[in-house]
Structure 1
Amino acid sequence: MTALKEYDRIEATGLWRANADAQRREVIVSIGDATLTISDHNDRALAHWSLPAIERANPGTRPAIFHPDGDRTETLELPSDEATMIDAIEKLRSRIERARPHPGRLRLWVSLGVLATVAALGVFWLPSAARDHAVRVVPDVKRTELGSALLSRITRVAGLPCTAPEGTRALRKLGARLPSPDGAARLVVLPGGVLEAAHLPGGVILLNRALIEDFEEPDVVAGYIIAEHLAAELHDPLHDFLTHAGLVTTLRLLTTGQVPSAAQDAYAEHMLTEPRSFVPQDTLLRGFAAWSVRARPYAYARDITGEETLELIEADPFATVTPEPLLSDNDWLRLQGICGS
């Protein structure tokens, strides 16, 4: 039997040379279970080559020249017409090569696995981890600085904040009546740009002038202020900014304390063009109760039909009682004039 089960016996004629100084001689080559045997015409064995140790000196070329691994001076040349033997030896060599351990290949796959893991961490874990860490460690003064920088960029498009003196004093009174959970909020009335209301890092709340000028009572604008307070509690505005800005900006903020101008410009544009997500109505109701503000005026301002805000209307905590006034009538009139004529 041979090492190849599909063959009972394989023999061929070739030219064998024992070493570099020896003459080539014609021999009979046969394949056994584990060795390639080289014999003379009297069937006397001249050499035995271990099948796993056979190397080819001229891959893809015929006549085929083979030699034992580590000794290129001993050679066996098989002519082109001995194709069966040549193909059998090559098939054996391929099978043996596949069966051998490949530590280099294993190292390659291990290295690729490590790189893939690092890449996955970089794509999926690092941005979130860096962002969460920044939200925890960035001081309030830096949040305030970022909020002011974003506000300056927004006002380039939306127009300068409304600052009529008497209206500004009334706005401060409204802010004191509706304090942020983290302290006094900075209320800013804009002549345009922001759709209704929005919030920025550092406790800045942006209000469109229409929320003040188009309604007869301060409960509507108060409702939007409460909604922004709650939205900032549910989704930290710094977290929202860093999510939009990306990993590079987050790392730069952590390492240098600076935020690229391009990231600020992009987020300012985002604030003015993207629709705001509303706070869940049950959360809003708890907020209206905590700040002692009627929910119905805000609910109808958001949806004049009341269909989308029915829960706010029906569960208004002050539907039958009157809460503490938000502003006096005179202060409300002053606030309505904050943007001038």
Structure 2
Amino acid sequence: MTALKEYDRLEATGLWRPAPGEQRREVIVSLGDATLTLTEISGAVLTHWSVAAMVRANGTARPALYHLDGEPGETLEIPEDETAMIDGIDRVLRAIERRRPRPGKLRFAIGGSVAAALALAVLVWLPGALERYATTVVPPAKRAEIGQAVLAHMTRVTGQPCRGRDARAPLRRLAARVLGPDRANALVVLPTAARDSAHLPGGVILLGRQVFEDHEDPDIAAGYILAEALRARLDDPLRDVLDHAGLIATLQLLTTGSLPEEALSSYAEQVLTAPQRPAPNDALLGAFQAAQMRSTPYAYAIDPTGETTLPLIEADPGAGDGAPVASDSDWVRLQGVCGA
């Protein structure tokens, strides 16, 4: 026993009771390597106890009382004056107890690890799952309401949308030409937007006035509209709002039907300031082809060198097609959309 390495062997007298109701007998107790030997005074061996199986029955009280684990009827009492033997046995028992496996602690550790892993999985999975669910259950009318609420926060910075009287009908005609007749009212022109285009839930396409005022070709403005509509199809605008607003706001939308105003305001700021994400060229070319529009004017508006938009130039599906997206008179009016 390493716990008793300072002793070669310990011996003491004790009182051994083999079974309940039997007379106690005085014995010689010898503590060896992992074994307690009980012998008669004459030297005859009575029994061997495994020290690892011993239990102290009366705590730290003296005389010390021991029995084997699961056999409390067979007892051994060591008198209080045999301090070396009592201390030796107790030290060995403590050493054994320290080395004994702790299934309760192990279960607690495993359970805690599993719980932590589940909590982490919930934190990682739940927001995305709720966002996906919300995008499937929120009706179009609520999407449009959320889009208008975000727009209201944006206009506190950009000013009210441009509604030049002469440009209203041309703007609807341009939207219908590019997006389809059912979306004639989808375009909103902002007077001081830093970004050329953006989109909001409810099918709203935002355009900065510079899209009309800084270019001479209406196909460029049409290209901005088409590219932004494509981004909205590829990345659900409501999902983008909820991803920005966070888990609590998403839960509020699902339970009360509304989003916190601070979340809407924060998202409006992000839309105005975040860098524009480029639309994939292949998908964009497909959109230009479906709309029977030229992609080259838009490509050079995005990059005057044409280096980064070369696929839109080389594979222009509308090359050679002279059909304009807006009449000359409509385009003149659109260039003054932010006028009176």
Same topology, TM > 0.5: yes
Q: CA deviation at 1:299?
A: 0.8
Cα-Cα RMSD: 3.6
C-alpha distance in 2 between matches for 1:88 and 1:79: 14
SS at the partner of 1:29?
A: strand
> Any idea what the Cα deviations from partners look like across 1:159-201, whole Å, max 9, x if unmatched?
2111111112221111111125984452111112341100011
Tell me the SS of whatever aligns to 2:325: coil
8 A contact 1:192–1:209 mirrored in 2: yes
Shift of 1:54: 1.8
Q: How far 1:278 sits from its partner (Å)?
A: 0.8
Instruction: Determine if contact 2:11/2:85 at 8 Å carries over to the other structure.
Output: no
TM-aligned CA distance change 1:299 to 1:105, over 3 Å: same
Assess if the C-alpha contact under 8 Å between 1:194 and 1:206 holds in 2.
Answer: no
| 1:43 to partner: Cα distance | 2.5
Q: Is contact 1:11–1:28 with CA below 8 Å preserved after alignment? A: no
Give the aligned partner of residue 227 of structure 1.
Answer: 227
The answer as to whether partners of 1:226 and 1:288 remain within 8 angstroms in 2 is yes
Alignment of 1:17-96 (within 5 A): 27-31=28-32, 35-39=35-39, 41-44=41-44, 49-56=49-56, 67-68=66-67, 69=69, 74-76=76-78, 79-80=83-84, 88-95=92-99
For residues 231-271 of structure 1, the C-alpha deviation after alignment (integer angstroms, 9 at most, x for no partner) is 11111111111122222222222222111112112211111
Question: 1:285 and 2:288 equivalent?
Answer: no
**Letter matched to residue 13 of structure 1:** E
Q: Describe the shift of the 1:226–1:245 C-alpha distance in structure 2 as closer, same or farther (beyond 3 A).
A: same
Q: Which amino acid aligns with 1:197?
A: S
User: What runs of 5+ residues in structure 2 fail to find an aligned partner?
Assistant: 18-22
Aligned twin of 1:332:
331
Aligned to 1:178, the other structure's residue is in SS state: helix
Query: 1:166/1:179 Cα in 2 relative to 1: closer, same or farther (>3 Å)?
Result: same
User: 1:202, CA displacement in angstroms?
Assistant: 0.4
| 1:17-65 Cα distance to aligned partner (Å, 9 max, x none) | 559xx999784323477x5223454325577545343234799x99995
CA 1:315–1:32 in 2, change beyond 3 Å: closer, same or farther? closer
Match of 2:66, as an amino acid? H
Maintained 8 Å contact 1:15/1:24: no
Contact 2:288/2:295 (CA < 8 Å) preserved in 1?
yes
SS of the aligned residue for 1:188 comes to strand
Please say which of residues 299-308 and 123-132 is displaced more in the overlay: 123-132
Q: 2:20 — aligned with what?
A: none
- Percent identity (aligned): 43
Change (3 A) 1:164 1:148: same
Greater Cα offset, 35-44 or 132-141: 35-44
Distance in 2 of aligned mates of 1:257 and 1:317: 43
**1:79-138 deviation per Cα after TM superposition (whole angstroms, max 9, x unaligned):** 35998766555444545x33xx73x34542453244134213312222222111111111
Cα shift at 1:215: 0.8
1:269 corresponds to which residue?
269
Secondary structure of the residue that 2:30 maps to in structure 1?
strand
Partner-residue secondary structure (3-state), 2:271: helix
Distance 1:149 1:190, change over 3 A: same
Structure 2 distance, partners of 1:63, 1:180, is 97
Question: Corresponding residue for 2:9?
Answer: 11
Contact 1:28 1:38 in 2 (8 A): yes
Map of 1:1-341 to 2, 5 A cutoff? 11-14=9-12, 16=14, 27-31=28-32, 35-39=35-39, 41-44=41-44, 49-56=49-56, 67-68=66-67, 69=69, 74-76=76-78, 79-80=83-84, 88-95=92-99, 97-98=100-101, 102=103, 104-105=104-105, 107-179=107-179, 183-184=183-184, 186-323=186-323, 325-340=324-339
**1:83 and 1:287, CA in 2 relative to 1: closer, same or farther beyond 3 A?**
same
Letter in 2 for 1:211: V
Q: Give per-residue Cα distances to partners, 1:272-329, cap 9 Å, x unaligned.
A: 1210111111211111111122111111111111111111112212222213x32221
More displaced, 202-211 or 292-301?
292-301
CA distance, structure 2, for counterparts of residue 296 and residue 288 of structure 1: 10
Per-residue deviation, 1:339: 0.9
- Give the distance between the partners of 2:162 and 2:277, measured in 1 at CA: 25
Cα pair 2:14 2:29 within 8 Å, conserved? no
SS at match of 2:38: strand
Residues 275 and 130 (structure 1 numbering): CA distance in 2 closer, same or farther, change over 3 Å? same
CA gap 1:288/1:144 in 2 versus in 1, 3 angstroms: same
**Structure 1 unaligned spans of 5+:** none
Q: CA, structure 1 residues 91+313, in 2 after alignment: closer, same or farther (shift >3 Å)? A: same
Q: Which amino acid counterpart does residue 30 of structure 2 have in structure 1? A: V
